[in-house]
Amino acid sequence: MRHPLRSPSTALPAGGSADIPGILNETRGPGGGLVSTAGALDTTGVPTVGGTALLGGLDHLELARAPAVTAQVGARPG
pLDDT in tens, 25-45: 877 778 888 888 999 999 998
The closest of 39, 21, 32 to 60, measured between CA atoms, is 32
Q: What is the mean pLDDT of the chain?
A: 82
What is the predicted pLDDT for the residue at 41?
A: 92
Q: Is the pLDDT of residue 73 over 80?
A: no
Contact call for residues 35 and 61 (beta carbons, < 8 A): no
- Domain of 18 in residue numbering reads as 13-22+32-39+52-78
70 in any annotated domain = yes
62 in any annotated domain = yes
Alpha carbons within 13 angstroms on the beta-carbon side of residue 15 total 21
- Whats the size of the chain, residue-wise? 78
44 in any annotated domain = no
Phi, psi of 19 (to 5 degrees): -140, 45
Three-class DSSP labels, 41-61: CCCCCCCCEEEEEEECCCCCC
Q: Is the pLDDT of residue 3 over 70?
A: no
58 in any annotated domain = yes
Name the residue with higher pLDDT: 42 or 4. Answer: 42
Number of structural domains in the chain: 1
78 in any annotated domain = yes
Mean pLDDT (whole number) for 33-59: 89
